[in-house]
Structure 1
Amino acid sequence: MKNYIILMLIALGLSSCSRILDTEPQTTISDEAVIVDQKSAQAALIGVYDGLQGYATNIVSLDLAGDNVVNFNAQNNVVANKTASGSGGGFSGIYSVINRANFVLNKVPSLSDALVSSANKNQILGEAYFLRGLAYFDLVKIYGGVQIVLEPATKADAHKGVKRSTKEQTYAQALADLNKAEELLPTTINRNRANKYTVFALKARLYLYTEKWELAEEFATRSIGNTSFKLVKPYALFFTGKNTEESIFELAFSTSDPSSFYTNWNSPDRGGRHDYIPERAFAGLLLNPNLGGSRKSLLFQTPAGVYDLDQYSKQNGTSSIFLLRIAEQYLIRAEARAKKAAPDLAGSASDLNQIKGRADVPLFNYIPSTTKEELLLAIENERRFELGFEGHRFLDIVRTGRAATVFGTINKELLKPDFWIFPIPQSDILRDPDLTGAQNPGY
């Protein structure tokens, strides 16, 4: 399969800097010289995070596939067709992260205690397992089953002959990596780095996608029960601030390590290209005090009267990307409680109302005659408002089997389940003979 060579870093040790450091790429690497001691192991791990920074914007941009975000120059095309000629949600970038993680996981275990302490080795390996598990989870929820590679690419044909695995096998690999990460990582909370609580939160999401409702509830509860995580008020604080109690895993940027993602959202007079804007009808819902409530702070109106997104708009490139936050855990638990074998509708409604209450919108009126279907629709809608620009909307509707109902009236293509997942980018198929004939049906 297509191989991606790890970027070696000129970096300080992890303990000296909390941000993700800049990287210096090298086109060739001596496999034996990449990771030789604690400093180089830490530097290689930072390279994995750096790769995650690179593809995380593609995950957020998946909202273009749904009804929350549109291209500024095609605003009437609310749910656009997906084509194999597009970037495809960051396929190559995700595999780059996997290959970098594979280098860490391949080399660090053999380092002696004199070169890296046992505690530091566990920390480095645990973070690498988490990041690889996240990468495989992102791949499977976007593309279905993919090629699974667990060894680093040391030469161009290192993974020749690796075919696509099934969706179930890919989910299993993601879960296996998260299980290893949970064994190795401490409970010490760092909102920008993997720890046990990032594992718990991602497991809750994975179990939601794989319909393991009791486990989704259990792992969401682990984060919700930790007083270090809270729904912050006012609502805008979670994205105007930095590393607030809302965050479980936040990709934070700084003026010395900026993100250019704001250029996709900002108009030219604010230093951007104005590629994306909130869809007009969705913006209206957010501005409705009974639906969006204080979440209207996600938007601001330009002098031209257009509503732009404020969440990623800082012109110095310091807007964070939120991969896991506590609000989602409440909504995961609410859905899991409603769907499990012995539904807890009262508990589900209570979790839903935690989100509604923070957003200052009317609470869900749960009464004994409330049906599970009524509650699940309310949760679906609340996920749309609460997580509106974080890459969840399209995938949420697909995983619940409602894409034809919700999106099919807007785009007839979405009436067909073939189009509920993304195509493998054609450029990657052309580069990788093992993907020839493996394109997702319909593309």
Structure 2
Amino acid sequence: MKKIIILITVIAGLSLQSCKKYLEVPSYNQVSDENTIFDASSAQTAVRGAYRGLASLNNSSTFQNIVLQSGGDVRSINNAQTDLNVINYSLRSDIPLLLTLWANDYNTINRANHIIQKVPGVTDINLTAALKDQLLGEGYFIRAISYFDLARLFGNVPIFLTPTNVVADKVGTPKSTQAQVYAQVLDDLNKAEALLPATVVRNRATKFTVYALRARLNLYLQKYQEAESDASLVLANAGYKLNTPFALAAGTTESVLELSYNTTDLNPAFSLWNGNNRALEPKATLYNLLNDPAVGGGRKILATKTGTAIFGGISPTNVSAGYVIRTAELFLIRAEARAKKATPNLADALADLNAVRLRSGIAASTAATADDILLAVENERRVEFALEPQRWFDLVRTGRAPAVLSLSDANKYIFPIPGAEILANPALVQNPGY
């Protein structure tokens, strides 16, 4: 019975329970489910709550901590047992942080499912057709990015496309394959594209945000022509360009999608990198790369040293924005796609790579072959996204984890399903190797 109660609290998320603090309205677990979305105001409140869920997921200290340490360039100050499990690639299914990751994803998905199911039926005159489309499109986008992260983290996971009202709604649902989850992500992004406006907004989904995430997804799917096309759709818009010299991207044309924080909802990444009680620090190798004028250039601001202590500079305050997708990533996605597609375009791939390098104040690359360009892109991503949770996923998706991390056990490229979830839902099967 205890495990069922945990499942209700963690997964069912009966209705978007963290909204009160952010929105200053009654939280959804204080009203009956059928009344959660019933007019224009409650529909917009639900979408804001879903973004809060996304902020709790994509920029959470748990997500950042595990993924950054797995990438090999960041170390924990604490050296707790969980940290040792992470860096030794010996995660256990009973580690609480894994349950937190799983729960945050599915709670956010549940919020999106409420939006997708209920917004179309709202008849409030204040909910115009255009606004209804926008809110519904944002629901599809938020569900897409949540499932994308679930598939990257855990591989094969259950797909839920309707709201969870009681725990019995989902018990018995088996895992879908990672390929099926990615297919669902693509379907949601395509639906979002048809509904969202073609505007430039940094902290909410638009058509351009969809193109950007779909470009990233297509790189994972090895659909290189599609990845190039989607990245080009974003980069053709003057609202998305590189700033010279390098600076943090918040609120600028270098930001495609960022997460907003305020004095009530603080950016959890701040405490990871700053102060005497910080949890993480860049390793000396990464610090040296960032502070090498020929490698890091202007990106040296991402890592500073005081005595022997190394501090990360990506979240200078506790209300700094958190980055989900940046313009620089679109250039590097397109560079990789152009070098890998069936008929490579090496000249333009190199031009995209060098756009990021020149903006950072370092010399253009002279890589000539496809392999040389791809290695240069990998190295550029390493420093460009030094304090963002990208490198682990990059090394796994490109098959470079054995060479770079000395990790040849493919079972370890995804994390174990939390044991509590398997006990609560007998249809779930643990990932191989755990």
Compute the TM-score of the two structures, normalised by the length of structure 2: 0.91
Give deviations 1:188-243, integer Å, cap 9, x for gaps. 111000100100000000000000000000000011111111111331242xxx31
Q: Does 1:407 align with 2:422?
A: no
Q: Per-residue deviation at 1:26? A: 4.9
Q: Per-residue deviation at 1:11? A: 7.6
Give deviations 1:375-426, integer Å, cap 9, x for gaps. 1111001011101111100000000011111101xxxxx2211111111222
Other-structure match for 1:63: 68
Work out the CA distance in 1 between the residues paired with 2:144 and 2:76: 31
Other-structure match for 1:255: 263
Distance 1:111 1:25, change over 3 A: closer
Which structure dedicates a bigger proportion of its chain to helix?
Answer: 2
Residues 9 and 24 in structure 1, CA contact (< 8 A), matched pair in contact too: no
Q: Does 1:54 align with 2:49?
A: no
Q: 1:175 aligns with which of 186, 206, 227?
A: 186
Compute the TM-score of the two structures, normalised by the length of structure 1: 0.89
Q: 2:87 aligns with which of 74, 79, 84?
A: 79
Other-structure match for 1:441: 432
Give deviations 1:162-181, integer Å, cap 9, x for gaps. 10001111001001100010
Other-structure match for 1:159: 170
Other-structure match for 1:411: none
Distance 1:25 1:427, change over 3 A: farther
Aligned amino acid, residue 220 of structure 1:
A
Aligned partner of residue 188 in structure 1, secondary structure: coil
Q: Per-residue deviation at 1:74? A: 3.6
Other-structure match for 1:312: 315
Other-structure match for 2:208: 197
Q: Does 1:282 align with 2:275?
A: no
Equivalences for 1:100-111 in 2 at 5 Å? 100-111=111-122
Other-structure match for 1:335: 336
Distance 1:225 1:162, change over 3 A: same
Equivalences for 1:395-434 in 2 at 5 Å? 395-408=393-406, 414-434=407-427
Aligned amino acid, residue 92 of structure 2:
T
Q: CA RMSD in A?
A: 2.1
Work out the CA distance in 2 between the residues paired with 1:182 and 1:248: 15
Work out the CA distance in 2 between the residues paired with 1:341 and 1:371: 15
Runs of 5+ consecutive residues of structure 2 not aligned to the other structure: 1-6
Report sequence identity in percent. 40
Other-structure match for 1:15: none
Work out the CA distance in 1 between the residues paired with 2:87 and 2:297: 25
Work out the CA distance in 1 between the residues paired with 2:376 and 2:310: 25
Residues 148 and 185 in structure 2, CA contact (< 8 A), matched pair in contact too: yes
Work out the CA distance in 1 between the residues paired with 2:153 and 2:18: 30
Q: 1:7 aligns with which of 16, 25, 31?
A: 16
Q: Does 1:235 align with 2:246?
A: yes
Residues 231 and 358 in structure 1, CA contact (< 8 A), matched pair in contact too: yes
Q: 1:187 aligns with which of 182, 185, 198?
A: 198
Runs of 5+ consecutive residues of structure 1 not aligned to the other structure: 13-19, 409-413
Q: Per-residue deviation at 1:117? A: 1.6
Residues 8 and 34 in structure 1, CA contact (< 8 A), matched pair in contact too: no
Give deviations 1:257-276, integer Å, cap 9, x for gaps. 322331222232xxxx2211
Aligned partner of residue 73 in structure 1, secondary structure: coil
Aligned partner of residue 92 in structure 2, secondary structure: coil
Residues 227 and 334 in structure 2, CA contact (< 8 A), matched pair in contact too: yes
Aligned partner of residue 427 in structure 2, secondary structure: helix
